[in-house]
Structure 1
Amino acid sequence: MSSNLSAPSSNLFASIDMGTNSFKLLIVRAFPDGVFFPVHRRKEAVVLGRDAAAGAISPQSRARAMESLSSFARILQAHSVVPAHTACFATSAVREAENRDEFVAAAKEALGLGFDVSVLSGEEEAELAYKGVIQFLPVYEKLVLNVDIGGGSTEFAIGKQGRVLYCASLKLGHVSLTQEFVRHGELLDLREHIRSTILKSGLVDKVEHFGFEVAVGSSGTIRELEEAEFHGFAWDSFDGMPPHGAVKREWRLSRKGLTGIVEALCHGGEEWRGKKDRLFGKRSEFIVAGAVLLGEIFEILGIEEMEVSKYALGEAAIADTLSKVYLGCDLNANVRWRSVVHFATRLNSKKRMRAAAQCAGIAREIFEGVKKEYELSTKDLEYLEAACLLHNTGLFNGRKGYHKQSYHIIMNSDQLHGYEFQEVKFIALLAKHHRKKFPKPDHSSLQALPEEMKSKFRFLCTIIRVSVALQQQDSPNYQKLGILDAAEGLELLHSDIKDRNSLMEMIHPPEDPETEVLRHELVNFRKVFNQDLAAMVMSGTAGCS
């Protein structure tokens, strides 16, 4: 019944996306419930798509690619990410290349022993993009049309609840279209080629057959175009800054906004070329083709507005790996967790958010120490951490009775995506009862909860109360806390303490209200869990127990 002081390297997972325009490395720290957090990102412009007309990857492009992969391999090694936790895949440019087998062999050699490289089919790429989107947008229950514009192809997928109903890959990419049409100023031919390819593909009939509730875009090109609309790129007054009064970014791209952007890019003249380069940077070379392509997709498929995802292939590949390593991995876990973090961030100052995050970290360590004996589940930990992040949101309205305000804010919001009503209430009650009087089992507020939640409430409530009380002590380094077994119970121990025999030499803190609250909560911990929790941390030369 113990956990390490720091998360082991085996919790690190990675993906390498060898795209037509760029190669991307993503390293994350993951947990068994499916939640993961970025640790490192790296993107390098390789532009394999420049060789599309030749039909094979040139020696120059291959050299750039191998240099990039060798760099990625060094980063993976530095982070101790094992090959079994790394998904490496190639898309359109490699898929269509005559010398793909030689390229893949060279890529494996550049990455090193144990790494595998897969070449995705167009349909696999479309399905993966959709599964990446549902990891981070609250659209799992909706019928989704996902569009992913790449350098050499564009993927379409229609799906619901994680199941792909239809997918297609069309040879329409922003790099290849730039090479073939935009570079020669053939914009009318570009539009005609796009329309002809889409109409001949059967895509329109499939979209009409299945329909869709929400359209989502998941590529870098679409994100750049959303940013252009947000910054008012098509306005004459565009200066590279968000329009006056725009304080909330919705991450949506409208048909009207996209039409204005396409018009400015294609017919804006020399002045607009400078604005284009300033806003789109390295993507400027290919943005005209990408914008025209997306504009035609909007018109042909009848899209009025598109939600924009910041995540796609790389995140989906990691989620797929997690599902194989951690059985029972929850597809909705990331959506729920992101909604909690987003909601807490909106209502908390940076200082309060930092305190809430520290509280959640302490709570996780305590939870790991007691979960097996008391049959607490991964979902229980999710409720606990959510309550920790949201427990002080009531301070938004002032300090008096803020725990009650936190409860009402959580209950009256619609920001916690993916949770049932009873789950939201459970989180809200944990947040409410993190301070003041500990609720009795027959407390009226608990009676509407399912029996399983009621039976676990006192355990989780005890943990959050100890965590909040401990966090309010004088600035220990909460990054280094961990649970260790002790003969008398559990010790919440600071990892800077190397010699456990020296614990007796630690100086106890002076008596103050915060310390008295902590002592009271530790007594309550003993009553609930039938064991002691000794909380020993280092803050300068002082500790507390």
Structure 2
Amino acid sequence: MADNLFAAIDMGTNAFKLLIVEAQPPGKFLPILTRKEPIVLGRDSPSSTISPHSQRLSFKSLEKFSKLLKSHNVPSLHTRCVATSAVREARNKAEFVNSVAETTGFNVEVLSGEQEATFSYLGSLQFLPVFDHSILNIDIGGGSTEFAIGSCGKVDFSMSLKLGHITLTQHISEDKEAEKVQKMREYVRKVVRKSGLIEKVKTLGFEVAVGSSGTVRAIEKAGSKGHGIDLLQKEPFFKDCEVMNWRLSREKISSVVESSCKGGKLQNGKRRAESIVAGGILLEEIFDLVGIKEMLVSGYGLREGVIADTLAKVYAEDYDLEANSRFQSLLWLATSSFNGGTKTGVPQSERVCRLISRLLRLDF
């Protein structure tokens, strides 16, 4: 077995995702394999149960992951399988989790909304140089949206709302696009206002807003391809992330949503367009309700947060929660230097990063 290999499986509402990383003390890691299986647990059963069809697809995908883990010699004790909103809310949750264990051998951790929010926050800390800042971390999934406010690795507040791009699309059944969008906005405002989130965010405050989900990354990506407005850097803090160009403004989100609703290039796939429209509306309303002007977009999220939590337990007193974000900064610097900020030369950049790390005695 390779003692420096670790893995995390995210059994999400919209897909199952596998991540395998190579890690070293005090907490740095490099992804060596990622896989995604489109398992939509929250779409095919209106009765809040995981259907037999979805269960069969789940077992099949997890068995694929199991073979990949074995072929890479990942220790079973270094592998964690977590489930989020769809399993958490399912009436047959216990039956499904037991069936997964019997069929695939994976012991599923069904995360509470607060745990999911915390892991997503930890994931962002593995990617962005924001450890010392007070962060409002937002993770928009298929079945729920998680919020966490924290600084220096400590979460001061976390909340999960049953608002996701799939559940929001299912909840609103208007035929006309304009009416559907307006109904979505009204529903989001109602749920957020009733939750107490706005008051809590205002009381605690935050310096930086971070989006850590695939939905947020898809919106940013769409905006950067000409569907949004690329604003100039205005705040000194955002200069640190200029090489990534991963940030979102309210204007960019609005432009992406508008383009999607008008049947622009985003309409290549109906489900993808639905995800971006619903996720974009959710994010727009959250921006307005809690007072976000601009958001950093993290390339890491829940899975990387689970990895970080595992490394903290394995490395104990030697663990450094900031170690990986420092390594990421070196990687992006090397990528920018060799490729003008593109990702085409990442393998070469990683080699440069390793050399720089050794020179700086970061021990990767």
TM-score by length of 1: 0.59
Q: 1:382 to 1:304 in 2, by over 3 A?
A: same
Task: Find the counterpart in structure 2 of residue 311 from structure 1.
Answer: 300
Task: Find the counterpart in structure 1 of residue 143 from structure 2.
Answer: 152
Q: Give CA deviations for 1:190-210 in whole Å, capped at 9, x if unaligned.
A: 211110000000000001001
In 2, the alpha carbon distance for the partners of 1:61 and 1:216 equals 32
Q: 1:103 to 1:355 in 2, by over 3 A?
A: closer
Contact 1:135 1:331 in 2 (8 A): yes
What are the equivalent positions in structure 2 for 1:250-261 lying under 5 Å apart? Answer: 250-261=245-256
Task: Find the counterpart in structure 2 of residue 132 from structure 1.
Answer: 123
Shift of 1:263: 2.4
Greater relative CO, 1 or 2 (CA 8 Å, sep 6+): 2
Match 1:180 to one of 159, 168, 171: 171
Shift of 1:111: 2.6
Contact 2:136 2:208 in 1 (8 A): yes
In 1, the alpha carbon distance for the partners of 2:4 and 2:66 equals 18
Q: 1:192 to 1:56 in 2, by over 3 A?
A: same
Q: Give CA deviations for 1:344-383 in whole Å, capped at 9, x if unaligned.
A: 332247999849937956x99xxxxxxxxxxxxxxxx572
In 1, the alpha carbon distance for the partners of 2:126 and 2:78 equals 18
Shift of 1:385: 5.8
Shift of 1:248: 6.0
Q: Give CA deviations for 1:65-108 in whole Å, capped at 9, x if unaligned.
A: 11111111111111111221011110000000000011101111
Paired residue secondary structure (1:50): coil
Paired residue secondary structure (2:248): strand
In 2, the alpha carbon distance for the partners of 1:347 and 1:40 equals 25
Match 2:336 to one of 346, 371, 380: 346
1:29 matched to 2:19? The reply is: no
Task: Find the counterpart in structure 2 of residue 423 from structure 1.
Answer: none
Contact 1:72 1:111 in 2 (8 A): no
Shift of 1:184: 4.5
For 1:127, the aligned partner's letter is T
Q: Give CA deviations for 1:231-271 in whole Å, capped at 9, x if unaligned.
A: 12158xxxxxxxxxxx96510011111122222333x2xx4
Match 2:321 to one of 311, 327, 331: 331
Contact 2:243 2:333 in 1 (8 A): no
1:116 matched to 2:101? The reply is: no
Paired residue secondary structure (1:384): coil
Task: Find the counterpart in structure 2 of residue 84 from structure 1.
Answer: 77
What are the equivalent positions in structure 2 for 1:20-419 lying under 5 Å apart? Answer: 20-51=13-44, 53-112=46-105, 115-181=106-172, 184-185=175-176, 186-234=180-228, 249-266=244-261, 268=262, 271-272=263-264, 275-278=265-268, 283-327=272-316, 328-348=318-338, 354=348, 357=351, 360=354, 383-384=360-361
1:9 matched to 2:2? The reply is: yes
Paired residue secondary structure (1:136): coil
Paired residue secondary structure (1:54): coil
For 1:180, the aligned partner's letter is H
Shift of 1:325: 1.2
Q: 1:37 to 1:356 in 2, by over 3 A?
A: closer
Q: Which consecutive unaligned segments of at least 5 residues does structure 2 have? A: 230-241
Larger radius of gyration: 1
Q: Give CA deviations for 1:5-52 in whole Å, capped at 9, x if unaligned.
A: xxx611110000000000000001111211111111000110001146
Q: 1:358 to 1:61 in 2, by over 3 A?
A: same
Q: 1:353 to 1:154 in 2, by over 3 A?
A: closer
Q: 1:110 to 1:184 in 2, by over 3 A?
A: farther
Q: 1:154 to 1:351 in 2, by over 3 A?
A: closer
Contact 1:360 1:385 in 2 (8 A): no
For 1:27, the aligned partner's letter is I
Q: 1:351 to 1:215 in 2, by over 3 A?
A: closer
In 1, the alpha carbon distance for the partners of 2:353 and 2:13 equals 43
Q: Which segments of structure 1 move beyond 4 Å, counting only runs of 4 or more?
A: 182-185, 349-356, 358-361
Shift of 1:150: 0.6
Contact 1:195 1:296 in 2 (8 A): yes
Task: Find the counterpart in structure 2 of residue 487 from structure 1.
Answer: none
Contact 2:87 2:93 in 1 (8 A): yes
TM-score by length of 2: 0.88
For 2:337, the aligned partner's letter is L
Q: 1:181 to 1:332 in 2, by over 3 A?
A: same
Shift of 1:182: 5.4
Q: 1:120 to 1:183 in 2, by over 3 A?
A: farther
Q: Percent same amino acid among aligned pairs?
A: 49
Q: Which consecutive unaligned segments of at least 5 residues does structure 1 have? A: 1-7, 236-246, 365-380, 389-545
In 2, the alpha carbon distance for the partners of 1:48 and 1:304 equals 33
Paired residue secondary structure (2:21): strand
Paired residue secondary structure (1:139): coil
In 1, the alpha carbon distance for the partners of 2:346 and 2:280 equals 41
Q: 1:332 to 1:59 in 2, by over 3 A?
A: same
Contact 1:182 1:289 in 2 (8 A): no
Shift of 1:109: 2.4
CA RMSD of aligned residues (A): 2.6
In 2, the alpha carbon distance for the partners of 1:260 and 1:79 equals 43
